[in-house]
């Protein structure tokens, strides 16, 4: 058994976040299935791929909690939200979920700072950056969808939007990381 190097409050917060990441995976899985049966195979592929990302996040929390002498406790996962009304609604809700998740990550980083738990503070920074990328990714898809639906040739544009979404990266490159 490892020496416990995180506070009880931090262990609870990290466990909640681990299970929240599992919930995020459920959300993407449900939306991916909805997109697949509603004629958006490209977006569906993207969403299935993103579900995998959320599962990796969940596992990252699990390993971190246990590595720091805590106990990651897997719980039941809440049911995903009901089906979106349309693709715009699907992407807007995905974005809302990401923003909500970013705020929860911020709370963990805040707690780490208060507790002077620099290991968790450092661990949390990876997720702060990850959340910027994920919000950017979904925002970009939403912008492209809005452009496609506002176009005179709406159907053709939406077809192309969906086809391109299949090859959308799961990671966004942020300008400050690009090499000049």
State the residues that interact with Fe ion by CB under 5 A: 21, 54, 57, 134
Nearer to Fe ion, 133 or 158 (CB): 133
User: Is 131 known to sit in a ligand binding site?
Assistant: yes
Residue of minimal Cβ distance to Fe ion: 57
Q: Do the annotations mark residue 21 as ligand-binding?
A: yes
Closer CB to Fe ion, 98 or 148, in the complex: 98
Minimum distance from residue 41 beta carbon to Fe ion (Å): 22
Task: Report in angstroms how near the CB of residue 57 gets to Fe ion at its nearest.
Answer: 4
DSSP secondary structure letter of residue 179: -
Asked whether the beta carbons of 82 and 105 are under 8 A apart, the reply is: no
Cα separation, 92 vs 149, in Å, equals 15
- DSSP for 90-105, please give it: HHHHHHHHHHHHHHHH
Decide: residue 64, CB within 10 A, 0-12 exposed, 13-18 middle, 19+ buried: buried
Shortest distance, position 26 Cβ to Fe ion, whole Å: 12
Residue closer to Fe ion, measured from CB, 117 or 134: 134
Helix (H) or strand (E) holding 118: helix 118-149
115 annotated as belonging to a binding site for a ligand: no
- Binding site listing for Fe cation: 21, 54, 57, 98, 131
């Amino acid at each position: 058994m490892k020496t416990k190097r995180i506070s009880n409050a931090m262990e609870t917060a990290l466990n909640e976040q681990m299970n929240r990441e599992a919930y995020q995976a459920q959300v993407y899985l449900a939306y991916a299935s909805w997109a697949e049966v509603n004629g958006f195979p490209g977006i569906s592929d993207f969403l299935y791929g993103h579900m995998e990302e959320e599962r990796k996040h969940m596992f990252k929390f699990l390993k971190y909690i246990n590595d720091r002498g805590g106990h990651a406790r897997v719980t039941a996962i809440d049911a995903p939200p009901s089906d979106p009304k349309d693709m715009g609604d699907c992407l807007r809700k995905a974005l809302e979920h990401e923003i909500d998740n970013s705020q929860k990550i911020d709370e963990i980083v805040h707690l780490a700072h208060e507790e002077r738990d620099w290991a968790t503070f450092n661990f949390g920074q990876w997720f702060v950056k990850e959340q910027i990328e994920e919000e950017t990714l979904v925002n970009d898809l939403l912008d492209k969808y809005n452009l496609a639906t506002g176009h005179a040739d709406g159907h053709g544009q939406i077809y192309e939007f969906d086809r391109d979404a299949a090859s959308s990266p799961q990671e966004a490159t942020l300008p400050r990381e690009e090499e000049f």
